[in-house]
Structure 1
Amino acid sequence: MFKSESILTLEENIVRIERLFDAPIQLVWEVWTNPLHISKWWGPKGFTNPTVEFDFKVGGSYRIVMRSPDGVDYPIIGKFLEITPFQSFVISDLVDEHPDEWVNEIQKLTGPIGNKELLNSKLRVLFEETDGKTKVILVTEFANNQIRDGFAKSGMKEGWSESFEKLDENALPKSNEIYIEKILNHPQELVFNAFADSESVGQWWGPNGFKTTTQSKDFRVGGKWIFNMLGPDGTNYPNVIEYKEIRQFDYMEYAHGSGNANKKDDFLVKIFLIVLEPNRTVIKMQMAFSDTNVRNAKLGIGAIEGGKETLSRLNLYLDKKANSL
Structure 2
Amino acid sequence: MTSNTNPATAGEAVQSRFATLTFEKEVAVPLSVLWQVWTAPAARAVWSAPSPSVTVEFLEADTRVGGREVSLCKVAGAPDMRCECGWLDLVPEERSVNYEVVSSASVTRSAALVTADLSGTDERSRLVVTVQISSLGEDMADGYREGFGAGLDNLAGAARRTMVLQRVIRAPRALVWDTWMNPQTLPQWWGPEGYSCRTTRIDLRSGGEWVFDMIGPDGTVFPNHHRYTEVRSGERIGYALLWGENGPKHADAWASFEDEGEATKVTLGMVFSTEAEFQNAKGFGAVELGQQTLGKLERFALSR
TM normalised by structure 1 equals 0.47
Instruction: Identify the structure with the greater strand proportion.
Output: 2
TM normalised by structure 2 equals 0.50
